[in-house]
Amino acid sequence: MSLLEAIVLGLVQGLTEFLPISSTAHLRIAPELFGWKDPGAAYSAVIQLGTVAAVLIYFRKDIVSLVGAFFRGLVKKDPFGTVESRLAWFVLVGTLPIGLCGLAFKKSIETQFRSLYVISASLIILAIILFVVEKRASHRRTLADMTWRDGILIGLWQALALIPGSSRSGTTLTGGLSLGLKREDAARYSFLLSIPATTLAGLFELKHLMEATERPSALSLWVGTLVAFGSGMAAIAWLLNYLRSRTTLVFVIYRIVLGVLLLVLLQAGVLKPLSGAEHAEAPRDAGAQQVEKQVAD
């Protein structure tokens, strides 16, 4: 991977991670358009650590408040006594669905699910769902009004983001709006909820990436991560300001246009549904299964 590729992919990651348009989709599409090798799900997860750092710094006051309230609640034996302590618990509980589903479907997420057909379908379907939810939502509730039910449901929405093209930001924002949260509050909670999941995924994949025989250089990883951090900070500030007075319609339109364009390019043969690495994965798995069967016999 060249430094130019690392910079472009880091920029794409940072700008699209927090917008409801799917960073995974754009990291999968960009290499295809430029004729680069797909960096893979592991590289995408690792440079997400840059966007995690952006969230930690941007929301440092909120995070300190939540963590402090969490431990004070435990010490006082009243873990749910304040809004901040409850939000901390909601974030923890809301992370469980995506963690469990991520481990259960890891192989599919890294191979078949990265098909551009899957991504285009996810872009369009989730756009339609977001549009319907946006129209019907009350936009009246705040984070102080959240309940255990809300925390669990938004966590389940987040698990849908394991399907490339769905967008973790998009699914959690949609979940929050469907429960009546104000747009800015839904986005703020979405950012906080992203911290445990993206941190764990990034560290988990970093370990496997370092053990792989073929991997990007350490310089490419650092550059991609740092660029993702800088662009991620800008994206957070812009989105929160944007949602204070505007709807998500622009993202709905963008997702549908991008999804349809992908389908057109796929049908025209300009883009391939799967990268070479993903095509190679299937026969290797089949061969391994055959060996296992012969040994068993």
**Burial of residue 144, with CB atoms counted within 10 A of its CB: 0-12 exposed, 13-18 middle, 19 or more buried:** exposed
* Encoded tokens for 251: 């993202």
Provide the whole-model pTM.
0.83
Per this entry, what is the length of the chain? 297
**For residues 47 and 209, is the Cβ–Cβ distance under 8 A?**
no
**Burial of residue 288, with CB atoms counted within 10 A of its CB: 0-12 exposed, 13-18 middle, 19 or more buried:** exposed
Q: What is the pLDDT of residue 106?
A: 72
Mean pLDDT of 91-112: 83
Question: In this predicted structure, which of 131-135, 199-203, 248-252 has the lowest mean pLDDT?
Answer: 199-203
Distance CA 36, CA 38 (A): 6
Q: What is the pLDDT of residue 248?
A: 95
Percent of all residues in the chain with a pLDDT value above 90, rounded to a whole number? 59
Q: What is the pLDDT of residue 275?
A: 65
A 10 A CB-CB count for 112 gives 15
The answer, yes or no, to whether residue 297 has pLDDT greater than 50, is no
Q: What is the pLDDT of residue 115?
A: 85
The answer, yes or no, to whether residue 293 has pLDDT greater than 50, is no
Percent of all residues in the chain with a pLDDT value above 70, rounded to a whole number? 88
**For residues 183 and 247, is the Cβ–Cβ distance under 8 A?**
yes
Distance CA 177, CA 186 (A): 6
Q: Which of 273, 229, 287 is nearest to 115 (CA)?
A: 273
**For residues 239 and 14, is the Cβ–Cβ distance under 8 A?**
no
pLDDT digits (tens, 9 = 90+) for 170-220: 999 999 999 999 999 999 999 999 899 888 877 777 776 776 666 678 888
Q: What is the pLDDT of residue 296?
A: 40
Start-end of H helices in 142-217:
148-159, 168-178, 183-211
The answer, yes or no, to whether residue 148 has pLDDT greater than 60, is yes
* Encoded tokens for 133: 């939810």
Higher pLDDT among residues 288 and 271, named by residue: 271
Distance CA 180, CA 212 (A): 45
Q: What is the pLDDT of residue 285?
A: 43
Distance CA 86, CA 73 (A): 9
Arithmetic mean of pLDDT over the chain: 86
Higher pLDDT among residues 232 and 24, named by residue: 232
Tell me the sheet residues that pair with 141.
181
Q: Is 179 helix (H, G, I), strand (E, B) or coil?
A: coil
Distance CA 218, CA 6 (A): 11
For helices 40-58 and 60-75, what crossing angle results, to 10°? 80
The answer, yes or no, to whether residue 290 has pLDDT greater than 50, is no
Helix (H) or strand (E) holding 18: none
pLDDT digits (tens, 9 = 90+) for 4-49: 999 999 999 999 989 999 887 888 888 888 888 877 777 777 888 8
* Encoded tokens for 205: 């994949």
pLDDT digits (tens, 9 = 90+) for 153-171: 999 999 998 888 898 999 9
Question: In this predicted structure, which of 76-80, 179-183, 204-208, 288-292 has the lowest mean pLDDT?
Answer: 288-292
**For residues 161 and 226, is the Cβ–Cβ distance under 8 A?**
no
Q: What is the pLDDT of residue 214?
A: 66
The answer, yes or no, to whether residue 284 has pLDDT greater than 90, is no
Mean pLDDT of 141-150: 95
